[in-house]
Structure 1
Amino acid sequence: MIIFPAIDLKEGQCVRLIEGRMDSATIYSRDPGSTARAWQEQGAEFIHVVDLDGAFAGQPRNRASIMQIVQSVSIPVQVGGGIRDMETIADLLNMGVNRVILGSAAILRPELVAEACRRYGDRVLVGIDARDGMVAIQGWGETVSKTAVDLAREVKQLGIKRVVFTDIRRDGKLSGPNLAATAELARASGLKVIASGGVASLDDIRAVKALEADGVEGAIMGKALYAGTVKLAEALAIARGEDATC
C-alpha cells in the first residue's frame, strides 16, 4: 500500500481545507518545494498535489509551485486540479509530473478522458469526489445526479485503471475515512482505488490496508500529517506490512 502525503496549493502556498471550502484554509507552508522534500526525506514514495485554485478556475493556477515541487524531489508526483484539456495534461507530464488526475473532466468531457488514456495509459487517473454518495465537480461546488460507483464504471470503460476517491464530508476533518464507500467503489468497479479524506490515525491506515484485497492500493494523508497527529514513518511501516501491533 502507498501512503501519499498531500500538498494542496492555494496562491502558491501549502494549505489544508475543511470539506473543500476555500474560506476554511489553514496555511502550513509558504514553500511547497521544501515541504515536498521534507516528506521525501521522511520516507515518502509518492507525493499527491492538488491545485485548489485550478479546481475552482477550471485551469491550473499554481504551475510554478508544481514545477518547484517536481524539481525538489526524486520521487514521483501526481497532480490534480483544473486539468480539463489535452494541452494541460501534456504540459504537466512534460514538466516531470508522473501522473495527472482528471476530476470534473470525467463528467464534463469524457471524450478527453478517453483520449488521454489512449495517449498516456495509466499515467492518467480520475478523481471521484462524492458528497453523500453523489459526485461533486467544479471544485466540489456542484453536485451532479450520478453516483460515485456509476462514474467509476463509466471511466473504466474509457480506459481508466485507477481512481482517487474522496468523501467530501470527511475531508480535512480527521474523522476517519469512509471505509465502506471506498471498499464498495473498488469492488463494484474493479478499479484500483486510492482512498482520500479523513485519514486521521494509524488505526485508519490499518483499516485502509485491510481493504487491499478489494483493490484499495493507497491512502492520501493531509491534515493528520501536518497537524502531527500521525508520524509519516509509522504510517509507512503499516503500509509496508511492518506494523508491530499486527
Structure 2
Amino acid sequence: MEILPAIDLKDGFAVRLSKGDMNTAKIYSKNPSDLAKKFEDFGAKWLHIVDLDGAFKGMAVNFKVIEEIAKSTNLKIEVGGGIRDENDIKKYQNLGVKRFILGSTALNDIELTKNLAKVYKIAVGIDARDGFVAVQGWADVSKISALELARIYKDSDVDAIICTDISKDGMLSGVNSEFAKNIALKSGKKTIASGGVKDINDIINLQKIDEIYGVIIGKAYYEGHINLQEVFKLIEI
C-alpha cells in the first residue's frame, strides 16, 4: 500500500485544518521544502501537496513553494488545489509533478477531466460532506453524491481516486475505510483514502482491504500520533 505524507499550503506555510475550515489552520512548518526532505529521509516515495489558497481562488497561489519542494527532493509529487485546465497541469508538469488532482473541475467539467486523463496522470479528488461532493476548497456542497461521481469515472483513463470524508479530516478520529472501499468498488480505480488517520492501527487495518491502494497521512504525523519511519518499515514487510 502506498503511503503519502501530506503538505497542505496556506500563505506559503505547511498547515493542517480541521474539517476543511480555513479558520482552523495551524502552522506546522514555515519551510515546507525542509519538511518534504524529512519525509523523503523517512522512506516516502510519494508526496501529496494541496495548495489550499489555490483551491479557494481557483488558481495556483503557492506555486513557488511547490517548485522549491520539487527541486529539493526526488519525491514523486501529486498536486491539487486550483488546477482548472491543461495550462495549469503543464506548469506543474514542467516542475516534475507526476500526478494532478482535479476536484472542482472533476465535478464541473467531466468531459474535460476525462480528456485530460488520456494525456496526463489525473487523480480525481472526491471530497464528501454527508455523502455529497464538496468543491471550491470544500466551501460548496453539490447535489451529486460521492459514489455517483466515482461511478461516472469508472470507464475513464483516470489514474486514481483520492477520497476524503470531510467530517473526519484533521480530527484524528480514525479513517473512514468503508467510504474509501465503496468509492473503490464504484469507480474501479485505485483509491487513496484521506482524512482522519489516527495512528498506525488505521494503516494496519487499511492494509487488509484489497480495494484500497493508498492512504494520505497528515495531522497524525504532525501531532505526533504516528511515526512515519515505523509506518514505512511496516509497509515493506
TM-score range, shorter chain: over 0.9
Pairing 1:137-216 to 2, within 5 Å after superposition: 137-211=135-209, 213-214=210-211, 216=212
Name the SS for the 1:125 alignment partner: strand
| CA distance in 1: counterparts of 2:190 and 2:54, whole angstroms | 25
Name the SS for the 1:152 alignment partner: helix
Aligned 8 A contact 2:184 2:190 in 1: yes
Over 3 Å off, 4+ runs: none
Aligned 8 A contact 1:106 1:155 in 2: no
1:224 is matched with 220
1:238 to 229, 234, 237: 234
| CA distance in 1: counterparts of 2:156 and 2:60, whole angstroms | 24
Name the SS for the 1:169 alignment partner: coil
Give structure 1 stretches of 5+ with no counterpart.
Answer: none
| CA distance in 2: counterparts of 1:137 and 1:197, whole angstroms | 16
The residue type equivalent to 1:218 in the other structure is: G
1:86 correspondence with 2:98: no
2:9 is matched with 9
| CA distance in 2: counterparts of 1:132 and 1:11, whole angstroms | 29
The offset of 1:166, in angstroms, is 0.5
Give structure 2 stretches of 5+ with no counterpart.
Answer: none
The residue type equivalent to 2:44 in the other structure is: A
The offset of 1:185, in angstroms, is 1.2
The offset of 1:114, in angstroms, is 1.8
| Cα RMSD after superposing both structures | 1.0
The residue type equivalent to 1:152 in the other structure is: A
Which one has a larger percent helix, Structure 1 or Structure 2? 1
Percent identity, aligned pairs only?
Answer: 43
2:45 is matched with 45
| CA distance in 2: counterparts of 1:75 and 1:133, whole angstroms | 32
| CA distance in 1: counterparts of 2:201 and 2:230, whole angstroms | 11
1:61 is matched with 61
Pairing 1:118-137 to 2, within 5 Å after superposition: 118-120=118-120, 123-137=121-135
The offset of 1:191, in angstroms, is 1.2
The offset of 1:107, in angstroms, is 1.2
The residue type equivalent to 1:230 in the other structure is: I
The residue type equivalent to 1:76 in the other structure is: K
The offset of 1:115, in angstroms, is 2.1
The residue type equivalent to 1:100 in the other structure is: F
**1:63-83 alpha-carbon deviations (Å, 9 max, x no partner):** 000101111111201100010
The residue type equivalent to 1:221 in the other structure is: I
Pairing 1:94-133 to 2, within 5 Å after superposition: 94-120=94-120, 123-133=121-131
The offset of 1:3, in angstroms, is 0.8
Q: What TM-score results when the alignment is normalised by the length of structure 1?
A: 0.94
The residue type equivalent to 1:29 in the other structure is: S
| CA distance in 1: counterparts of 2:205 and 2:145, whole angstroms | 24
The offset of 1:161, in angstroms, is 3.2
| CA distance in 1: counterparts of 2:147 and 2:109, whole angstroms | 18
The offset of 1:62, in angstroms, is 0.4
